[in-house]
Amino acid sequence: MIIPVYKPVGITSFRVVSRLRTASGVKRIGHSGTLDPFAEGLLIVGLGRASTKLLGQYLHAPKEYYGRIVLGTVTDTYDPTGRIIEQNSFIIPSEIQIQESLERFKGEIQQIPPLFSALKMQGKRLYKAARQGEKIIPPPRRVNIFELELCGLNEDGFNLRVVCSGGTYIRSLAYDLGRDLGMGGHLAQLKRTRIGNFTIEQTVDLEALITQLKTERTGG
C-alpha cells in the first residue's frame, strides 16, 4: 500500500515510519525521501514489502516545495535548527534583484549538499562528522531546478516556490541564494507539496492514519 502522508513540523521522517510500524504491525515500511524535522508536507510511505519496492521511483521524481528564506542570518545547518555562524545587517533586496538571483540558479546546476545531511562519506554520516567537529566537504553534484518562482517579500527575506529534481537540497539552495545576494541566509520554513503525480491535496493526516491502522489491526 502506497500512502501519501502529511508530515507535520517537529517530527522526523524516521519517526513517522516508526509510528506507522507500531500502529499497523507491519515491519516492512519505508518512505520516498526524507523531510527534515523543521519541514512539513507530503511524505510518500510504503506499507509492506511489495510497496517499499516501488518507493525508488518516487526518490527520483520531480518535487515541488514552498519555502521561506530569511536573509542576513547564516546557520551551520542552513535551517532554523542550527547554530548561528554569521549575522549580517542588510536592506531587503528589490524584487528585481531577487529575480535576477533566482534566474542564475535555474536549470542544471552543481550543488554542494549541506554539511549536516545524512549523506555518507569516508564511512561516516556527514551530520555525525559535523557534530563531532569534523568538516568533511562533500563534492558538488548535479541537480536540476526546473522552476524557481518568487512568491513575495517579507521584512526579513522572501518566499519562493521550487520545482526540482530528486536529490536537490532546498537548504543548500537557500544558502547559495543568500550568498549570491551578498548577505547570507538560511531556509526558515519548508513545505513539500508534490512528488511526481502525488500532491499535498491527496495527503492523509498522520494521526488519523495511525488511529485507522490501530483499529484495523485490533478489529475494534
Judge whether 156 counts as a catalytic residue.
no
> What confidence score (pLDDT) does residue 115 get?
77
CA 206 to chain centre: 18
Q: Name beta bridge partners: 143.
A: 109
> What's the pLDDT score for residue 27?
92
Give ∠ CA 51-54-59 in degrees, rounded to 5.
125
pTM over 0.75: yes
Q: DSSP assignment of 42-109, as one string?
A: EEEEEESHHHHTTTHHHHTS-EEEEEEEEESEEETTSSTTS-EEEE----PPPHHHHHHHHHTTSEEE
d(CA 89, CA 73) in angstroms, rounded, equals: 9
**Cα(57)–Cα(48) distance, integer angstroms:** 16
The confidence score (pLDDT) of residue 59 equals: 87
Q: State the DSSP string of 155-206.
A: SSEEEEEEEE-TT--HHHHHHHHHHHTTS-EEEEEEEEEEETTEEGGG-EEH
Q: Which tens digits make up the pLDDT trace of 204-215? A: 999 999 999 999
Domain architecture of the chain: domains with CATH: 2-60+196-218 (3.30.2350.10), 63-195 (3.30.2350.10)
* Average of per-residue pLDDT across 173-178: 98
Catalytic-labelled residue, pool 36, 79, 176, 205: 36
Kind of pairing between the strands at 141-153 and 107-111: antiparallel
How far from 159 is each of 16, 47, 78, 98, CA to CA, in Å? 27, 34, 16, 11
Q: What are phi and psi of 35, to 5 degrees?
A: -110, 130
Say if CB 147 and CB 160 are below 8 A apart.
Answer: no
Res 138: pLDDT: 74
Which pLDDT tens digit goes with each residue over 112-154?
A: 888 766 666 556 666 665 666 667 677 889 999 999 999 999 9
Which residues, other chains included, contact 109 with Cβ-Cβ below 8 Å and sequence gap of 6+? 142, 143, 144, 145
